[in-house]
A and B are shown apart, each in its own frame.
Chain A
C-alpha cells in the first residue's frame, strides 16, 4: 500500500480508460432544425479506452499516422478539451506549445502581449512582471518591445512566443510537431532549452512525425493507430514503426 503511494507520487501523467468521441456533422446544425426534428448523430471515436502513465522526468514521444488520435490526445493532456469517459491526472504545471502565438493581439505592443500570452499559458501577473526582462532578452527583439505586434516579422513573433513559454517554468511541457522554427541561431537556443529541461528532469511530451527529433529527445514512445495504443515502450519502438512502412 505504502509502496503504491510512493510510485504514484512519481507519476507525472496518469491516463486511465480515456475515451474521446466527436459528433460527426455533415452540415452546420441550426437551432431551428434541432427543435423541429431529432437528427441522427453519428459519432466518431477519436480515442478508444486509452490508458498509460509516465513518470516525472520521462520524455514521451507520441507517434502514429494521420488521424490516429495524436493531436486529440495532446489536446486532452493540455486541457483544451475534455474526454467523455475516463480520467486524466497531470501532476504539476502543464504548458502546451501547440501554438506559440495563440494569445497574441496584433494591435498591442510586445510588452502588453507578453502579459497577455503569459496569462494564456498559465503564469500570473507578478510572475510575468518578474520575468519580463529575461523574456525580452531571450527573444532578442530589442527595441521592438514597445512597438505593436503587427510590425514584427514572423520570426520575431515566434521567438517572443517561445521565450514566454519557456519562461513559464513548466513541470510538464507539451510540444506539437514542428517546433523547430526560426533561424539557425534560434533553433540552437531552443534545443539548448530543451536539453536543459532534460537535465532538470522535467517531463516532456512531444507529438511529431519527425522521428529523428524523437530519437534525440525521447526515452519513451507511445504508438497510436486509429485511436488505440498499438504499443508503448522505449526508443526501440521507433525502428519497428519505421519498418511498418517498408
Chain B
C-alpha cells in the first residue's frame, strides 16, 4: 500500500499538478517543502507504528472487529435492538468513530510529546497534527476498502453511495483536523485538557448513535444529537453500508456541518496564532 502511494506520488502527473497548483495559488506558505514535510512525517508515523509489530496492518482491522464482537454480544442479550444485521451495523459506526477518537485523543498531548523537536527546530508545527490524522486515515482507508469489498456481496452499495462515502470521509477528516488542532493548542497552555478529553470520549461515544439508532430515542433528544457533528458523520456511514437508511436526511446533517465548521475555524485560527509561541510553554 505504501509502495503504491509512493509510486503515485512520484508519478509526474501528481507532481505537475502540485507545481501548477502551488505556483498559481497565492498560498506561498504551502510550498513544496510543506507538502514534503507532511508526507515524510506521515510515512514516519505509519512505519514507526508497525516496524516491530508482527501482525502489522492486521491490527488496524482486528481492533474494530474485536470491539464489534464484544459490544454486539452484550447488546443483543441485554437490550433488545431491532436492527437488521446488528454486527454489520455496529462495524459501520465503529470504523469512523475509532478513527476520530484515536486521532484527537492522540493529538491532544502531542506538542508535549514532541517537545524535543519543537524546542530544537523550526518547522511547520501543524505537520505534527496532520501526520497523525493522515496516518490514521491511511488505516481507516484500508479497513474501509475491505468493508466495501464485503458490502459488495451484501448488495447494499451503489455508485451514489460511494459518492456519499467520499463526502462523509472528507467531513470526518475535516472535523478531526479541526478538533485536533484546537485541543493540541489548548493543551500547550492548559494541561488539564488531557483529563477533560479522557472523560469526554466515553460520554461522546454514547452521545453518538453508534450502538443504537436515533429512532429509539425520544424526539427532543434525537434533535439535540444533531448538533453533535459525529452524529451526522456516523449516520452517513451507516446509510452507506447498511440498508437501514431511515434516519439521515439533508436537514439532519446541516447542524452538524455548521458546528464542525465553527470548531475547525476556531481550531485553525488558534493554532496559527499560538503555534509560534509553543516553545515558550513547553
Contact = CB atoms under 8 A, between A and B. Distances in A.
Given A108-B47, A116-B40, A80 B192 contact: no
A148 B50 CA distance: 13
Interface in B21-79: 32-33, 36-37, 39-41, 43-44, 47-48, 51-52
B122 A29 contact: no
B276 A82 contact: yes
Contacts of B40: 115-116, 119, 125
Given A30-B192, A81-B276, A115-B40, A122 B33 contact: yes
Given A116-B40, A119-B123, A108 B117 contact: no
Contacts, number: 87
B149 interface: no
Contacts of B186: 31
Contact of A80 (B33, B122, B196): B122
A80 B51 CA distance: 30
Contacts of B33: 119, 122, 124
A32 B192 contact: yes
B249 interface: no
A105 B44 contact: yes
Determine the main DSSP class of B at the interface with A.
helix
A116 B116 contact: no
Interface residues of B, number: 34
A122 B40 CA distance: 13
A98 interface: yes
A23 B121 contact: no
Contact of A30 (B37, B190, B276): B190
Task: Identify which of B44, B186, B191 gathers the most chain A CB atoms within 10 Å of its CB.
Answer: B44
B276 A107 contact: no
A75 B47 CA distance: 31
A34 interface: yes
A43 to B, nearest CB: 11
Contacts of A180: none
A241 interface: no
Contacts of B126: none
Interface in A119-154: 119-122, 124-125, 148
Nearest to A94: B122
B277 A82 contact: yes
B47 A99 contact: no
Q: Which 3 residue pairs across A and B have the least CB separation, nearest first?
A: A102-B120, A31-B190, A79-B122
